[in-house]
Every structure is written in C-alpha cells, then in structure tokens.
C-alpha cells in the first residue's frame, strides 16, 4: 500500500478513536474499547475497501456492513459520519441521548447506513448470514451473462461475546454448509470480555471450529494496513466459501491505563484518561476533532463511490431491456407486490375440511407462492410437520440457489436471525416455521424483528395441549400470552381454514412481523367466519354468533376453541339463554380499531364474560373484566390423546356449560 495512503488511514483511525472517546465520555455511557481497538479496521473498510454509495445507503449492489458487536456502536457511527452518510456531527455529539440518531446500539431505519438492529450478542452474525444468503438467491435469479447485478459482499464484525453466543454457532454452521462465498466474518479478537479476561471463561480453538464448519480462516494484525490490503484483496478476488478473519486487536488501544483490560469495555474512560490517551496518540485535545485532511479524503472519494451506482443503474437499464420479464419480477419483489384480487384468489382456493390449521396454511402458502415471487421460506427440520414447504419450488442447496425453500436444520434461534437478514435485503417476503413451543428459542430474534418492524412471518404449529401425545414438553401454554405482550408483533390464532386465509392477508399487508399460530389437529370449517377480510380478520375481533336479546353470556375465543365456544352457545341457547360469541384471532389488530368499534364488541351489558382458550389466562381479563370467567390452562399439559386431554382439562361442551351455569 502506498505510504501516503497509510498515513491518511492512520489519521482516519485516530479520528475514529477520538470521536468514540469523546462521544462516550460526553454521554457518560457506552463502550469505548471496541471502537478504539478496531479503528484501523474502520479506516480501511470505509476508506479503501467497501463498494458503497454513502449518498444512497440503499443502493442495491452495495457491500453491507453488519456490526454484530453492537455495543461498539460508536465505531460504526464514526465511520458512517466520516464516510459521508446522513449522520451529522451534532448527532455524534448526542450519542445515547433522547431521540438522537445515535442510540446505544445500532437500529435499522433509525440511522442512515445501519444495515441491521444489533446489540444482543450474536444476532448480527445470524443477520449477516441471512443477508448473504438472500444476495446469493438474488444473484442466482437475476444475474445473467454480461449483467452481474448482484456482486456485493457482507462484512460482519463480531466480538468475543458474539462468538460465544450459541446463535452464532448455529448460523455459522449453516453458512458453511451453504458455502456462502459472499460472507466475511471479522472476529475482533482482543481476549477481553465485559467481565474480565477471556481465558477466565473460554479456551476453545475458535479457528479450528470455523474450519470444521467449512470456512476459510485467516489471521490478521488489526494495525497492519498492508496485511489488510492483502487479505481483503484476496478475499475480494477469489472467495469460494465464507471467510473467518481473526483480527488481532487491543481493546481500548491507546489508553495508557485501560487498554487491554475490561475497564475499557463498558464504561467511559474518564476525563483525565481521555486527555492522557489523546496526548499519547498525538491527537488534539479539542472535543470531536476531525482533521480537514480526513474530511477532504472522503470528499475526494465520494464521486467515485457515486459513480459505482451510476454504472450499476446503467447496467440495470440495459438488463431491463434485454430481460423484460426478469425486470418485471425484480420490480414486484422490490415493491413487495400484492395482486389486487389476492383476497378473492384465496377465497376460491379449494381447501377440503375438516382440516388442521397447519394444513390449511400450507394450501395458502402454495397458492401465494405462485403469485408472489418475493415469498421465500423454510423450517427448522420440520417442514414435513409444520407444513411450510412450497411444493412447486426446489430447496436451496449449496451451489444451487435457484430454490425458494430453506432447510434450516435444527437451528431455531439462527433461523429467526437469518429470516430477519433475508428481509433486510429488501427484496423478499420471508417466512419460517417450527412448533409453537420452540418459538421460545427464537424469542430474541422475534423481539428485534418487532422492534425494527421487519416484515417477516412465522408459521407456528402444534399450538396447544391438543397436539396430544408428545406431552407437556411440546404443548404450548404461556407462549400466546408471551408473544401477545410484544409490541408491534401481530399474533394471529385462526379458528379454521377461513381465518387461516385471512390471517395470511393480514400478515402480508402489515409492515411488521406476524406470528400465525396453528393447530395440529383437524378443525371444522365455521360458516360465521366466512366473511370478507375487512369485516373479520382486519378488525382483530368480530361477532360470529349474535345474541337474540341482552346476553346472559358472552364467549370470547380463538383458534381451535372457537368451534367449542359455538357449540357451548348452541347448548345454552337450547336452555333459553342468550349468548354472544366473539372470535378474537388478533388482539393487536383489535386494539387498533376505533373506540366505537371496540365498544360494540366488548362494551356494554354482555352478561357473564367468558374466555375460552387452551393457554394461560394472562391478558384475557382486559376483555372479560376481573369478574369474568377464564376457561384456560392453569398449569402444564399431559401426554395423552387430544380427546382425553379435553376431558381432563375441561374443554368440552358439558364441562364448560356446567361451569357457566354454576356461575350464572
């Protein structure tokens, strides 16, 4: 590398250190150690190596940078500001302050240039694998001879914590299996954890582990620009599988009294230490100082970066003329196209009943796959049971990325993070499936999807005790309440094939994550649920059996228990009782309705209010009141056939009718 360039990159690295120290110190909160230790890496990537256009952070063929070690967010913010993204120095100064664009951990759509919401360690590794996988699919679909539309790489920066978290192992194993030759995982190997030296808790041979996954592994001095140019240049030219770079760094590099220790990890250095560090590094004492030469360097390279997109746009125009059908598909995927007659198409879908919720959903998925080119999905080794396979399309395999079905293996946590990554390509509508109880493995990934409004869909099956003989280890009890508590997540528990159809309409229209929770057992089709989307599912709750006069009882139910509620209502009406039955498939959608509509469903004199659901009662009293009766699960289930479990736990017409009459 040219000596003048190395001098300039060293100035950029010094600037990154200064900005990180000052921002953390001013906030009196944050993690200065990682940004200081990896400053040269930031200078090299953003100063020399990345193919990007900071003036358009969403340029389709850009290189992506995912900071899995999200606590080191000032590293990323400093790099983005210097490189010319829409992140001002004033926002750097407002690090970790209310409503700033520089939150404690990076957030997608909140800060220009941030590719994924990260912070919970290891999540970003899974996101990066998902993004890389998505880019491989896009290349297989759209790259043509003379039209290499998708050539970008994904760079992920992870620390010791990310590498130790199990999710990164799952995701890395999958990436090696798929031989993702566009993924580079950079391990900030500084041998220090938040709680002390790494050897106190970890002594594995990480390089050998990654070699066993099928990755190419490199060692790299984190302060040698020539070595960086050689390694990253070789990877750029001839990568054939995922690459794991062990970047040897010193946490808090430059701090006279804290470098190389956990004291530089999770708290400010202190005013005196910052001053001494700047003196030791030859940096001005001025806060948030950026040399004019650093500003000029990035300003001079900006036209070249903008030209990359101009060239690509010209390539895409020529591609569109030569391959108009592919160009049309590209546009549909990019805009997440939904046909105007989609609801009508699903109503005309022939679904034989009675049918399990999971099987009805598979019929819907296969119908959708024919009209939504952006729809891709997979399962955690359960596609034959959670019924997520799109039967007209192949499975994605290494070196064969033309498929639309994924076999994620028994890797639920990684599956959740990778599906988030697939969404982050902005070209796919991803879904994934597993048993509902195993959503617990995925919870952190689901939470980040909800926080950042990732448009992903979860097909969770085997939703209650009525899955039967597999017993309480697999029977969901608390999961409904748990996921209903998550902001921005729509949880939908359809009662039959009619509501399954409309659940998918709801999920596709909502710009955020949706969990569709489905039965293993067959369910009857209910005539009252065959209502247009706008009069049923879109409202979150709606009346399926209207009372003839002021009701003695109002029954609220979801999923497989709705048919039971209707049967109970029929029995009670034969006894001279007036009964209203309400289907409540999605509480979150119901809460978005007008006060007048909500009052029409849950307000006024409704007699004895009753919730019937084979899950915990937590949350139901918001609708049935403190004096309402919750016919729900009070503990875990048992291993037995579903009919026996219904008798055991009181989910029968006789048992419920008796309870209601006793409470009348």
3-state secondary structure of 181: coil
Assess contact for 444 and 451: CB atoms under 8 A.
Answer: no
Residue 211: alpha-carbon gap to chain centroid: 27
Nearest to 652 by CA among 620, 614, 615, 606: 614
Nearest to 83 by CA among 336, 353, 284, 290: 290
Region at 136 (left for phi over 0; alpha for psi -120 to 50; beta for the rest):
alpha
The DSSP code for 394 is P
3-state secondary structure of 401: coil
Q: Is the N-terminal amide bond of 459 cis, ω within 30° of 0?
A: no
Interatomic CA distance for residues 161 and 163, integer angstroms: 5
Assess contact for 182 and 132: CB atoms under 8 A.
Answer: yes
3-state secondary structure of 601: helix
CA distances from 274 to 21, 24, 32, 148 (A): 7, 10, 10, 47
CA distances from 437 to 167, 243, 411 (A): 18, 34, 14
Residue 284: alpha-carbon gap to chain centroid: 42
Token output for 545: 């059996």
Q: Is 412 noted as a catalytic residue in this protein?
A: yes
Assess contact for 269 and 21: CB atoms under 8 A.
Answer: yes
Residue 527: alpha-carbon gap to chain centroid: 36
**Selected catalytic residue, list 412, 499, 561, 613:** 412
Interatomic CA distance for residues 382 and 407, integer angstroms: 9
CA distances from 343 to 350, 388, 505, 540 (A): 14, 20, 7, 17
Q: Which residues pair with 604 in a beta bridge?
A: none
Largest separation between any pair of C-alpha atoms in the chain: 93
Token output for 640: 């037995």
User: What would you report as the CA-atom Rg of the chain, rounded to the nearest whole angstrom?
Assistant: 28
Interatomic CA distance for residues 177 and 248, integer angstroms: 26
Interatomic CA distance for residues 585 and 519, integer angstroms: 13
3-state secondary structure of 612: strand
Interatomic CA distance for residues 85 and 57, integer angstroms: 7
Interatomic CA distance for residues 47 and 93, integer angstroms: 22
Assess contact for 483 and 491: CB atoms under 8 A.
Answer: yes
Angle between helices 166-178 and 123-142 (to 10 degrees): 20
Token output for 334: 């990019």
Nearest to 508 by CA among 587, 422, 439, 430: 430
Assess contact for 367 and 346: CB atoms under 8 A.
Answer: yes
Cβ-based burial of 381 (10 A; exposed 0-12, middle 13-18, buried ≥19): middle
Interatomic CA distance for residues 172 and 128, integer angstroms: 10
Which active-site residues does the annotation give?
412
């Amino acid at each position: 590398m040219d000596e003048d360039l190395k001098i300039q990159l060293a100035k950029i690295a010094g600037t990154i250190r200064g900005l990180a120290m000052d921002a953390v110190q001013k906030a009196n909160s944050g993690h200065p150690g990682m940004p200081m230790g990896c400053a040269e890496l930031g200078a090299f990537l953003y100063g020399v190596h990345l193919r990007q256009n900071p003036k358009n952070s969403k340029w389709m063929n850009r290189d992506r940078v995912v900071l899995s070690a999200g606590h080191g967010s000032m590293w990323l913010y400093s790099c983005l500001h210097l490189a010319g993204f829409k992140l001002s120095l004033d926002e750097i100064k407002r690090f970790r302050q209310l409503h700033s664009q520089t939150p404690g951990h990076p957030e997608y759509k909140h800060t220009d240039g941030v590719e994924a919401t990260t912070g919970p360690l290891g999540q970003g590794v899974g996101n990066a694998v998902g993004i890389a996988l998505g880019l491989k699919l896009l290349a297989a679909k759209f790259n043509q001879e003379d039209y290499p539309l998708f050539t970008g790489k994904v760079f992920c920066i992870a620390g010791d914590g990310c590498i130790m978290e199990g999710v990164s192992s799952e995701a890395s194993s999958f990436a090696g299996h798929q031989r993702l030759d566009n993924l580079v995982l950079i391990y900030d190997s500084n041998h220090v954890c938040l709680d002390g030296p790494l050897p106190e808790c970890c002594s594995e041979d990480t390089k050998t582990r990654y070699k066993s996954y099928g990755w190419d592994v490199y060692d790299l001095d984190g302060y040698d620009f020539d070595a960086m140019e050689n390694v990253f240049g070789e990877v750029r030219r001839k990568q054939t599988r995922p690459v794991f770079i062990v970047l040897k760094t010193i946490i808090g590099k430059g701090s006279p009294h804290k470098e190389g220790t956990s004291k530089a990890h999770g708290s400010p250095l202190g005013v005196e230490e910052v001053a001494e560090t700047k003196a030791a590094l030859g940096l001005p004492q001025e806060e948030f100082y950026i040399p004019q030469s650093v500003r000029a360097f990035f300003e001079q390279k900006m036209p070249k970066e903008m030209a990359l997109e101009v060239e690509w746009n010209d390539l895409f125009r020529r591609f569109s003329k030569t391959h108009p059908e592919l160009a049309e598909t590209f546009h549909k995927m990019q805009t997440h196209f939904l046909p105007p007659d989609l609801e009508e198409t699903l109503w005309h879908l022939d679904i034989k009943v009675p049918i399990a919720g999971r099987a009805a959903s598979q019929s819907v998925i296969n119908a959708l796959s024919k009209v939504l080119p952006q729809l891709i999905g997979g399962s955690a080794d359960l596609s034959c049971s959670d019924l997520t396979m799109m039967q007209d399309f192949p499975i994605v395999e290494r070196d064969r990325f033309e498929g639309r079905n994924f076999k994620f293996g028994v890797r639920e946590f990684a599956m959740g993070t990778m599906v988030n990554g697939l969404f982050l390509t902005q070209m796919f509508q991803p879904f994934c499936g597993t048993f509902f109880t195993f959503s617990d493995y995925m919870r952190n990934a689901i939470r980040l999807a909800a926080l950042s409004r990732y448009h992903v869909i979860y097909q969770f099956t085997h939703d209650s005790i009525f899955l039967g003989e597999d017993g309480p280890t697999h029977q969901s009890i608390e999961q409904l309440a748990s996921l209903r508590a998550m902001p921005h997540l729509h949880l939908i528990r359809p009662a039959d094939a009619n509501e399954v159809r409309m659940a998918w309409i709801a999920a596709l229209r909502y710009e955020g994550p949706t969990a569709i929770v489905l039965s293993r057992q067959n369910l009857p089709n209910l005539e009252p649920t065959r209502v247009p989307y706008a009069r049923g599912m879109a409202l979150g709750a709606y009346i399926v059996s209207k009372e003839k006069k002021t009701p003695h009882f109002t029954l609220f139910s979801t999923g497989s228990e709705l048919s039971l509620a209707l049967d109970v209502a029929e029995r009670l009406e034969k006894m001279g009782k007036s009964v209203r039955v309400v289907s409540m498939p999605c509480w979150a959608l119901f809460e978005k309705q007008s006060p007048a509509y909500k009052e029409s469903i849950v307000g006024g004199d409704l007699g004895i209010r009753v919730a019937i659901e084979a899950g915990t009662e937590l949350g139901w009293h918001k609708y049935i009141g403190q004096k309402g009766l919750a016919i729900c699960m009070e503990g875990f289930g048992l291993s037995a056939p579903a009919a026996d479990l219904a008798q055991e736990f009181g989910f029968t017409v006789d048992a419920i009718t008796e309870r209601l009459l006793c409470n009348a």
